[in-house]
Amino acid sequence: GRLEAVTQQMGYHPQYLDSFLKMQHYLMHMDGPLPFDCRHYIAIMAAARHQCRYLVNLHVLQFLRAGGDPQWLRGLEFIPPKLRNLNEINKILAHRPWLITKEHIEKLLKISEWSWSLAELVHAVVLLAHCHALASFVFGCGCEQDEGLGGRGSLKSLSLGNQCFCEATAGNSCSQELLRINRKRSLDSCMELDSLRERMQRIHVETEGREEMRLLQQDREEGERQGVEVGVQGGTEYPPDPSVGLSPLADPDGEVTGATNLACYTQDPDFGYQDFARRDEDQTQVFRVQDYSWEDHGFSLVNRLYSDIGHLLDEKFRMVDGLQSSAMAKRQGCEPSVFKRGIWNYIHCMFGIRYDDYDYAEVNQLLERMLKVYIKTVTCYPEKTNSEMFDRFWKQFKHSEKVHVNLLILEARMQAELLYALQAITQYMI
């Protein structure tokens, strides 16, 4: 009776969910240039850049299912040099994609024992951009696991017996189950969402309660032996730091307990987003869509080097553009398409991507300050999103409208990263 948290949130827009699941299933589980274990490890590296424990844990589980070497989960020092060489482009794409150059591409493709092929690199770039953007959605919608049982949303439970949302496109999938639930009851109100969360919480407590009590008893006994005081929160005893000592590997009961320290999957942790408008004069100039666009350039390149992924990505970009946001647009007294374009172009502007045919003064007219702060935080440094931001912005709007904003963030950010990476690959190929 449980739905994975990301699937549940996207389920407010079932047509988009179906498109998202098809693309992700193809990216992670169908034939492609990269081995399956490497795909999930790249996803771990990407999610770790934003300290997204939720996605890291999910892909640790999938990495092990795919037969990945458990030693790799000890950190970047324990993986093959070929994968480790991807770390630089992962870092730049995640935080300052405008710094990607053809020299970065050339370094990965140069002839050596650990060189990448063009097809492999395109697959990896799509994976990185996808997971960076998905981390924004995870934080923006409150799916990220916080300290305590179940996290803020209390919607997730990762075990080796559960179906990952990556795989929910075949047979009796989560998406089909979600469509059935959506027909049975409306999920389009915060009151009903809270009720669903309460039910999910009860199920989680019932199924995990015995294990929780066992671990709690062990922690209490260990604390007594070491003289460590056990805290109390909400009437329930808990260890002061539940993450201490956790392993990213599965325990004997088949449960993935979580990654201890995400820093082992990253290098240069202080490298983060920097306002494009404040860049040094000698850095990359403004990226003009008229010179290099997804429709005219990126789509054909990615589809040629990684068959069919371009069509699936393009469908997803178009699907989010077609979603309705009438209440949000009505508040601003404009057409839904105008409002959505304002959000999309604002996100691209933060990454230095400009549209010559757009009047950027509209952004300040269309987007309230609180919404702009929310969008920038979730887009550029999602790990700084706090538990109040999603609940506070535009309280009077339906939950589905807020999820829609996060879907726009996800797709606009992913397309921005892809544009920079694919342009650099194009320049290398010329």
- CA–CA distance from 148 to each of 137, 174, 231 (Å)? 21, 26, 12
Torsion of CA 55, 57, 62, 67, to 10 degrees: 140
- 44 Cβ contact list (under 8 Å, min separation 6): 55, 56, 59, 60, 63, 265
Half-sphere exposure of 416 (CA within 13 A, CB side): 32
The Cα–Cα gap between 292 and 230 comes to 57
Closest CA to 344 of 313, 375, 370: 375
Residue at token pair 């408008």: 277
The Cα–Cα gap between 127 and 94 comes to 12
Six-digit token string for 54: 């939720």
The end-to-end CA distance of the chain, in Å, is 53
Residue 320 in contact with residue 311, Cβ under 8 Å? no
Q: Say how far residue 47 (Cα) sits from the centre of its chain.
A: 7
For 151-255, list the strands marked E by DSSP.
Answer: 231-233, 236-238
Positions annotated as catalytic residues are 52
Residue 49 in contact with residue 90, Cβ under 8 Å? yes
